[in-house]
Structure 1
Amino acid sequence: MGSSYATNPLVFILQVLFEAYILVVLLRFFLQLTRADFYNPLSQFIVKVTSPVLVPLRRFIPSMAGMDIAALVLAWALKALELLLVVLISTGAFAPVLAIFGAIPGLIELCINIFLYAIIIQAILSWVNPGAYNPAAALLYTLTAPVLRPVQRIIPPIGGIDLSPMAAILGLIVLKMLLIPPLRQLVAALAS
């Protein structure tokens, strides 16, 4: 198909729609994994948006070790479909191998970004409105606790200032820099 006037906006819209739903599916996976409060209004929204697809999928893909494997499979399948459609629209090539394997580094990067941005937002909320209850802040605290707790054990608050979010953010960025490029190179090698 090549580059045309309508290709870039179409690809952009497609990516935004897919990425938004994949994000919600992964949030459901992580909130369930961290045992977040599912009576929280934001949790209820996530459950209602993802249940129509996840409930039937769970009939075929059971949970394992407390992990919602169906949510991971759904996120992977959606990411693969997104990549397949983007390549098809952009170049006219049908590349299922690239889509299937290319979805893996894309999902890993999105998972790292979820924790990265959750920690940033949680830190900003703690500065803007410390101590006040907010449903989003409660979910962010539950979501980020598995990442922040180990860092907080190593770096305790200094003079009442918690530097663990900054250390966790740096660690996540470095992890992304070390992990994603080699995975993308491996996918490119497999697809060629």
Structure 2
Amino acid sequence: MSNGATFLVQTIFDLFIMAVILRLWMQLARVDYFNPFSQFIVKITSPVLNPLRRVFPTLGRFDIAAAFLATALAALKIFVIVQMQVGAFPYSVLNLFMASIQSVLIITLQLMFWILIIRAILSWFSQGRNPIEFVFAQLTEPMLAPIRRIIPPIGGLDLSVLVLIILVQFVRISIMGAG
């Protein structure tokens, strides 16, 4: 199969997995539910998540249905891509499960990276009036606050975002190397 088809399949799966991960992350961070960006994520994930919630309970703020859906979609993505490239699936179910967990972790870290980059760029222009920036701030502040306690802003420059980006990339590269 062509590289273009593989790219298209991977991109479509990854975008929806990112939406599911965002939904889970927004619930954990208690992001403003009525924000237009939050509503978009809820509306595109609800048709698949709502039936799964009848099977998988929620533990506190952790949405097991969303975690299951992200992992299942990653497994399906891997299966489809291997089928397209090889024509048969040479891996065990355990290998597929482990690869799907790794894929979800890598996608989560990529999502964190891009949210931090976009948040930093938006902070230069929008002065906090953008609804997406507000959601991104709610998502990332719990991770940035501890870094700010260790490395306070220097001369008005907040280095916590840079430190978190470096940590996220380090973990992502480490996970990718382990696979």
AA of the residue aligned to 2:134: A
1:18 maps to which of 13, 18, 23: 13
Q: Judge conservation of contact 1:84–1:96 (CA < 8 Å) in 2.
A: no
Q: Judge conservation of contact 2:74–2:100 (CA < 8 Å) in 1.
A: yes
Matches within 5 A, 1:22-37: 22-37=17-32
Residue equivalent to 1:146: 142
Residue equivalent to 2:38: 43
Q: Considering only aligned residues, what root-mean-square deviation do their CA atoms show, in Å?
A: 1.3
CA offsets, 1:93-146, max 9 Å, x none? 2245343221111111111112111111111111123x2411000000001112
Matches within 5 A, 1:110-189: 110-129=107-126, 131-182=127-178, 184=179
Residue equivalent to 2:72: 77
Q: Judge conservation of contact 2:152–2:158 (CA < 8 Å) in 1.
A: yes
Q: Judge conservation of contact 1:155–1:164 (CA < 8 Å) in 2.
A: yes
Distance 1:82 1:105 in 2: 13
Distance 1:158 1:76 in 2: 40
Q: Judge conservation of contact 1:81–1:99 (CA < 8 Å) in 2.
A: no
Unaligned stretches of 5+ residues in structure 1: 185-192
1:68 maps to which of 63, 71, 79: 63
Identical-residue share of aligned pairs (%): 41
Larger Rg over CA atoms: 1
AA of the residue aligned to 1:66: R
Going from structure 1 to structure 2, the CA distance change for 1:114 and 1:12 (only over 3 Å counts) comes to same
Unaligned stretches of 5+ residues in structure 2: none
Total equivalences in the alignment: 177
When normalised by structure 1's length, the TM-score is 0.88
When normalised by structure 2's length, the TM-score is 0.94
